[in-house]
Structure 1
Amino acid sequence: MLNSCGFDEPVVDDDDIVIEDPGTVLSIPDGFDFSTYHDVKINIVDDGNYAKYDIYAYSDELYDAGTETFENESGEIVTETVYKSDVLDRLIFSGVAKNGTLQQTINLPKFYDKVYIRRNESLQFTASIEDIVNQEVNFNAAESKKSIKSSGLKSTTDYLYSVNGSGQLFQVDPLTGLLTDLSKMPMGSYTCAIDQENKLLYSIGRSNPYPLMKYSIEKDIWETVANLGIGGPRLDYNANDGLLYFSTKAKLYTFNPATGEKLNTWNIEGLDSTSGGDLAFADDGTLYLCTFSGLYLLELDANNVFQSTRISADSLPFQPTSMTFDSNQELWLANSASSSNLIVMDTQTGGWQYKYGPDANNGSDFGRTINDLTTFRVISENVNDTDTDGDGIPDIDDAYPEDKEVAFEYFTPSKYGQGTISFEDLWPTTGDYDFNDAALSYQAVAKLNSDNMAVQLDFTCNIKANGAGFTNGIGFQIDGLLPTEIESVTGSVFTQNFITLNQNGTEADQEKAVIILADDVDNILNETKITIRFTQPISTEKLGVAPFNPFLIVNMVREKEIHLPYMSPTSLGNNSTTFNGTNKDEDGNYISDNGYPWAISIIHDFKVPKEKVAITDAYNFFSLWAESGGLNYVNWYTDSSGNRNKDLIDQ
């Protein structure tokens, strides 16, 4: 029996192998496959107008993103922990309902029990958080209270766009108070302003060097215009001169939004407090400013100084930090509590009322900090429905607007995430269960056409841990496809001459479609993309969900494949356990007689244990998770407090 796990040269005699026992024998429930994720079927029914859907894995927990030093809205320099949401990091797929339905099956970590469904009807965004029940999510746009405006565009529809210091960009529907997450910002901010004509949102980062950030509402793309070197809480866009008006303390500035160049500086007189607040232009060009002391009207005098006239009463029970006018010229304000209130104020009398939030007494608390507001108006005649490639999907919704064969993308594990498959390569003998003999990091992107059918699969991967002394190959089998359903496979790396390929790049002599990524894992230590083209569009149900049926080929012995628990070998593999040496997998299910698998797949960037460190030592709850049959400690591999012994893990 050949040997690995840190030995410089392979040893033939199994009796000479020295293995550090993991020290813990696991009592595993019958049939437990060590899976950290499950297939979830998404069923969307939408008989209304054309709308694009984006589906995210959902968690309402904020994660610790580290500390940041910045100037708060009161002008104080503070250092505090920044907590962020990972919802918009977890985009799984996008699509449009065809014949009233949209169905896909996705892989989700088992600790996710909800999905976030965002509906986009010509830039009218609505969202719904849906429970996963029996591995299914059923969403009906007509029945959902969170999905509205399915009967067509009004002439003008307002949405309140908001940002906060945690780097969240979201909208609030002023008619319903419903909140929809839109994008993850490069940096948290106290400011936002919209150029309505060009559908651009501007925001200034809350920390040095205070970047001026520009966001395309149509394309969902952020870019940095320039570093302004100055921060503060107030910003608005003036449609009359095309400039950004920015204010901090008792100063007002203008900036060129295209370049970030500072053009003008004015003093403001008459403010009772210079902390916090916001700027807003009414449609007639009148400029309003609020600070913690209330609402003011600003007017430029003959000496080029802005004089402020107080409008609101002296005793507001909240500190306004956000302000915007809607199409009806109603003035909306917000306070920046951990759960903000949205407030409507009369600009003539300063009278106000809580509209949404914890103090509104209407059950509308959406539990989100609002650091600034601006208004985006969806106007029917201004909606861009250009379809360059003629595939029926407007360019603003099309991931490939100039390619009629491709419209959407379907990610595993997510648009911004990676999964990991880790192997022990001594099967069927005992290993040390550090799972670093070969650890493959990957992201799979299925490219879908306008009918939500897959036309191509891009599998981007690299070996991030290789503790083996063997020359191991690696690949996967797509159990639902025949080799003839593959048009081509490109990008695989071969140097060892023991793999035979069909003309289309799949492995020869296989009943099902087998893709070999590399015949030596050392060949893909750097990021490598393998592209698989299909002979004709196929349903994602037939394609299956990545990572499919992955396997390791041990030391160039082609029949010796190591698979995930209970997965079947390929036509060229052999799990009959007839190999020489001590057999710890007599039933051939890829689970050892002491309870451990030889391979584990995690829909996450898994940090592997250090060499010779058993997974039970590196991860405190692995054993309890496994022995519960996966019911307890489902997030054992994440960086949540107490899960990891960091000094025993390769970072």
Structure 2
Amino acid sequence: MKKFDYLLKWAAVCLVLVFMFVMSCIEGDVGPGDNANLETIQVPEEFDFNTAGEVEINIQDANLNDVVRYSVYSFGADTLNDLIVSGFTNSDGLFNTRVSLPNYLEKVYVVRNDRGQFDGFELPLSAGIVDFTYNGPSSRASRQFKTQTGCTEVLYAVNNQGGFYTIDNESGSYEETVLPNLEGGGSIACAVDRAGRKTYYNTGTTLRYYDIDNGTFHVVSQGNPFNGSYPRMEYNNADGLLYIAKNERMYIVNPLNNQVISNIQISGIESPVSGGDVAISLDGTIFMCTFSGLYRLEIAGDGTSAQATRISAEGLPFQPTSMAIDRNDRLYLATNDGNSQLIEMDKFDGAWQVVQTYNHTINDLGSLPCTLDELDDTDSDGDGINDPLDDFPDDPERAAENFTPSKYGWGSLAFEDLWPAKGDFDYNDLVVNYRFTAIQNAANEIVELEARFNVKAIGASFKNGFGFEIPISPALIENVTGQSLHENIVTLDAKGLEAGQSNSVVIVFDDAFNELPHVGGQFINTEPDVALSEGEDIVINISFVNPVAPELLGTAPFNPFIFIDGERGKELHLKDKAPTDLADESYFGTLSDASNASEDQYYKTSNNVPFAIDIIHEFRYPIERKPINEGYNFFINWATSGGGSYPDWYKDNSGYRNTGKIYSR
């Protein structure tokens, strides 16, 4: 009997354990740090909780006769990521800069642009340094460039009603020109042969092309591997073949004889696998979009299979049905609704922006880029940078734009505003997205800084202000505009900087409640099942008296902070970031704060947990009163290891998140 009772007890225990396991699986993947909490863990004192670090880029180019443009991208183990910085070689062929890169990176991707001739290189990142020497040929050595204006690039667009258009993407106006209706009927696919000056399209199972120079239509062949419409199609100008895909299958076809060269099975596409298009970058990289997002394809050596790596990891709020890449390596998508949107996307991280909306449908796009011998060798503004390399060809003071974290992506700053008291560590009391754009001249000096902010969440009742400090003298700043100040809490000087500061301090807004629409209540965008509010971007523009060396400014987002509930002196910064001159230091060392100014230690608890964090990625923050470690399974592992484990804890990787504890948008 005792033995039977004993067995019953163990059976009950096992049932409870099984139930707990099942419930944990329902909630989400549980990380090794899930049983710990932010009050009891011990974080190494020197760990700063930065998700990014400064990296030195040193490039030596053998082309000493002319300027070459280099662009540096972060390069993750699983996907290409953000465009970080672009710049120009000097008379010694050198390009040197410092950039902020995610800490999990082991390499970068460098693109060399010599008047429209692109070369790409994967380079290792070691001990915060990237060194590279280019000894290849110069484009000038093999090409004779024109001295007059070259060709104008356009996109070609088709739809299934027979509509046919060109779109001016070179000037940035995205103005369209209506062409004659497609002969044979409508089409959902098109691709452009640059050398042959043809725009391929299909009607049913018939492959046709439009002669660009003569304005005539021609039939190429009947039938195709899908025995129907071509869902996705691209012409590869490197090999003269058509790349045609549908769902998880792609065929490479010779358009001259309709022969199938390769039949490729694609792996790695997430559901839904339908829709989308194929586009090929200038360096030969194959991109494909489906309704589930943007992917990079790598075809196996035997030519029978391909692996798809997803780039737009957070998914897309629209369904792309067409895609094209131009000579400047800009990727465009379009939607196929009645008023199609043209979308420019960062092909390295999937960040995007709508650039134009049309009053008709676009079912597919193709790009007609200029060839190298058509490119313009003119330097219109006389700044030493030829027009094909110059982001501002008509402005001698500006030449390139650099972005943190990327052209269309966002970083996030998240605060616990009960400081110096301990909060609930959901880091959603105030969440502010940021994107910095530094505009440089031909000498790679910064002439203007644009800082764009958007308040995403207010998970508290306090009315908090927000600003950032740049570590340079106010004497170097010419003007600051764009602030949103309404409460008479701060005082600005004649330049727009905060008065009474030894460094340059920019106050972005003085009350977050003015920046995010809300109707009653104290929580905005942090409680589940509550409709999302959207605020307007706040755009700060900073001009300098004279161009400033990038190393003097440091890296964005510099030294951001909030001041709490209308009290200007009650500043809260990132861990170990110094307060400004106007901070009230009497709060240090009180309640749960363990700041020690004499040791340059600030804004942390006794176990070294911060009250604010900076994520070089758009932060999907926890819902109300759910600590960050409950939403992100490996946050504690990252913190207690001093950043050594799971440095990408914030990403949307399998098992990383408990989605039920993260605010859904």
Question: Which of 118-127 and 383-392 deviates more?
Answer: 383-392
Identical positions, percent: 34
Out of 121, 133, 139, the residue aligned to residue 140 of structure 1 is 133
Any idea what the Cα deviations from partners look like across 1:538-582, whole Å, max 9, x if unmatched? Answer: 100001111001111112222221111111111111445358x62
Separation in structure 1 between the aligned mates of residue 306 and residue 220 of structure 2, nearest angstrom: 37
Separation in structure 2 between the aligned mates of residue 561 and residue 218 of structure 1, nearest angstrom: 46
Aligned to 2:47: 32
Aligned to 1:180: none
Q: Does 1:251 align with 2:206?
A: yes
C-alpha spacing 1:34/1:319, structure 2 compared with 1 (3 Å): closer
Separation in structure 2 between the aligned mates of residue 538 and residue 149 of structure 1, nearest angstrom: 33
Aligned to 1:182: none
Deviation at 1:500, TM superposition (A): 1.6
Where 2:388 maps in the other structure, the secondary structure is coil
Aligned runs of 1:125-274 on 2, under 5 Å? 125-142=118-135, 148-150=136-138, 152-155=140-143, 198=151, 200=153, 229-231=186-188, 236=193, 244-247=199-202, 251-255=206-210, 264=217, 266=219, 268=221
Aligned to 1:615: 628
Q: Does 1:116 align with 2:106?
A: no
Aligned runs of 1:340-419 on 2, under 5 Å? 358-359=301-302, 378-380=371-373, 382-419=374-411
What code does the residue aligned with 2:58 have? N
Separation in structure 2 between the aligned mates of residue 391 and residue 469 of structure 1, nearest angstrom: 52
C-alpha spacing 1:61/1:578, structure 2 compared with 1 (3 Å): closer
Contact 2:588 2:595 in 1 (8 A): no
What code does the residue aligned with 1:562 have? L
Separation in structure 2 between the aligned mates of residue 211 and residue 434 of structure 1, nearest angstrom: 51
C-alpha spacing 1:234/1:91, structure 2 compared with 1 (3 Å): closer
Contact 2:595 2:604 in 1 (8 A): no
Contact 1:42 1:103 in 2 (8 A): yes
Question: Which of 266-275 and 46-55 deviates more?
Answer: 266-275
Deviation at 1:392, TM superposition (A): 1.5
Separation in structure 1 between the aligned mates of residue 482 and residue 379 of structure 2, nearest angstrom: 32
Aligned to 2:283: none
Separation in structure 1 between the aligned mates of residue 484 and residue 234 of structure 2, nearest angstrom: 58
C-alpha spacing 1:529/1:280, structure 2 compared with 1 (3 Å): closer
Where 2:514 maps in the other structure, the secondary structure is helix
Q: Does 1:523 align with 2:536?
A: no
Q: Does 1:571 align with 2:581?
A: yes
Contact 2:156 2:368 in 1 (8 A): no
Contact 1:114 1:130 in 2 (8 A): yes
Aligned runs of 1:302-313 on 2, under 5 Å? none
Deviation at 1:432, TM superposition (A): 0.9
Where 1:115 maps in the other structure, the secondary structure is strand
Deviation at 1:537, TM superposition (A): 0.4
Aligned to 1:491: 482
Separation in structure 1 between the aligned mates of residue 225 and residue 48 of structure 2, nearest angstrom: 66
Q: Does 1:585 align with 2:594?
A: yes
Contact 1:204 1:231 in 2 (8 A): no
C-alpha spacing 1:625/1:256, structure 2 compared with 1 (3 Å): same
Q: Does 1:539 align with 2:554?
A: no
Any idea what the Cα deviations from partners look like across 1:589-621, whole Å, max 9, x if unmatched? Answer: 211124421000011100111121111111111
Deviation at 1:47, TM superposition (A): 3.7
Any idea what the Cα deviations from partners look like across 1:237-270, whole Å, max 9, x if unmatched? Answer: 686xx66343467524344869xxx975758579
Q: Say how many residue pairs are matched.
A: 501
Contact 1:389 1:401 in 2 (8 A): yes
What code does the residue aligned with 1:615 have? I
Separation in structure 1 between the aligned mates of residue 404 and residue 223 of structure 2, nearest angstrom: 57
C-alpha spacing 1:418/1:319, structure 2 compared with 1 (3 Å): closer
Structure 1: runs of 5+ lacking an equivalent: 1-20, 63-85, 143-147, 158-196, 283-287, 293-317, 326-330, 343-355
Contact 2:420 2:588 in 1 (8 A): no
Deviation at 1:499, TM superposition (A): 1.1
Aligned to 2:454: 462
Aligned to 1:507: 498
Contact 1:213 1:222 in 2 (8 A): no
What code does the residue aligned with 1:554 have? I
Aligned to 2:68: 51
Instruction: Give the number of the structure whose alpha-carbon radius of gyration is greater.
Output: 1
What code does the residue aligned with 1:411 have? F
Deviation at 1:102, TM superposition (A): 1.4
Separation in structure 2 between the aligned mates of residue 422 and residue 112 of structure 1, nearest angstrom: 23
Separation in structure 2 between the aligned mates of residue 271 and residue 424 of structure 1, nearest angstrom: 59
Separation in structure 1 between the aligned mates of residue 106 and residue 173 of structure 2, nearest angstrom: 29
Aligned to 1:601: 614
Q: Does 1:431 align with 2:423?
A: yes
C-alpha spacing 1:231/1:210, structure 2 compared with 1 (3 Å): farther
C-alpha spacing 1:223/1:607, structure 2 compared with 1 (3 Å): farther
Any idea what the Cα deviations from partners look like across 1:146-185, whole Å, max 9, x if unmatched? Answer: xx3227342489xxxxxxxxxxxxxxxxxxxxxxxxxxxx
Contact 2:467 2:508 in 1 (8 A): yes
Separation in structure 2 between the aligned mates of residue 502 and residue 103 of structure 1, nearest angstrom: 35
Aligned to 1:181: none
- The normalised TM-score by structure 1 is 0.67
C-alpha spacing 1:465/1:279, structure 2 compared with 1 (3 Å): closer
What code does the residue aligned with 1:154 have? S
Separation in structure 1 between the aligned mates of residue 143 and residue 260 of structure 2, nearest angstrom: 21
C-alpha spacing 1:324/1:374, structure 2 compared with 1 (3 Å): farther
Aligned to 2:294: none
Out of 638, 654, 665, the residue aligned to residue 625 of structure 1 is 638
Where 2:630 maps in the other structure, the secondary structure is helix
Contact 1:324 1:375 in 2 (8 A): no
Out of 427, 450, 453, the residue aligned to residue 442 of structure 2 is 450
Deviation at 1:234, TM superposition (A): 7.1
C-alpha spacing 1:274/1:248, structure 2 compared with 1 (3 Å): farther
Separation in structure 2 between the aligned mates of residue 215 and residue 59 of structure 1, nearest angstrom: 33
Separation in structure 2 between the aligned mates of residue 389 and residue 210 of structure 1, nearest angstrom: 42
Contact 1:553 1:560 in 2 (8 A): yes
C-alpha spacing 1:35/1:421, structure 2 compared with 1 (3 Å): same
Any idea what the Cα deviations from partners look like across 1:300-328, whole Å, max 9, x if unmatched? Answer: xxxxxxxxxxxxxxxxxx96425699xxx
Where 1:623 maps in the other structure, the secondary structure is helix
Any idea what the Cα deviations from partners look like across 1:38-85, whole Å, max 9, x if unmatched? Answer: 1111111124042211211113525xxxxxxxxxxxxxxxxxxxxxxx
Separation in structure 2 between the aligned mates of residue 592 and residue 504 of structure 1, nearest angstrom: 37
Separation in structure 2 between the aligned mates of residue 464 and residue 281 of structure 1, nearest angstrom: 42
Structure 2: runs of 5+ lacking an equivalent: 1-35, 245-249, 268-277, 281-298, 310-323, 326-365, 517-535
C-alpha spacing 1:291/1:616, structure 2 compared with 1 (3 Å): closer
Where 1:464 maps in the other structure, the secondary structure is strand
Deviation at 1:332, TM superposition (A): 13
C-alpha spacing 1:478/1:211, structure 2 compared with 1 (3 Å): farther
* Bigger helix fraction: 2
Separation in structure 1 between the aligned mates of residue 506 and residue 242 of structure 2, nearest angstrom: 62
Contact 2:155 2:168 in 1 (8 A): no
Provide the aligned C-alpha RMSD in A. 4.4
Out of 91, 104, 109, the residue aligned to residue 97 of structure 2 is 104
Separation in structure 1 between the aligned mates of residue 417 and residue 254 of structure 2, nearest angstrom: 58
Separation in structure 1 between the aligned mates of residue 241 and residue 416 of structure 2, nearest angstrom: 64
C-alpha spacing 1:430/1:533, structure 2 compared with 1 (3 Å): same
Contact 1:236 1:246 in 2 (8 A): no
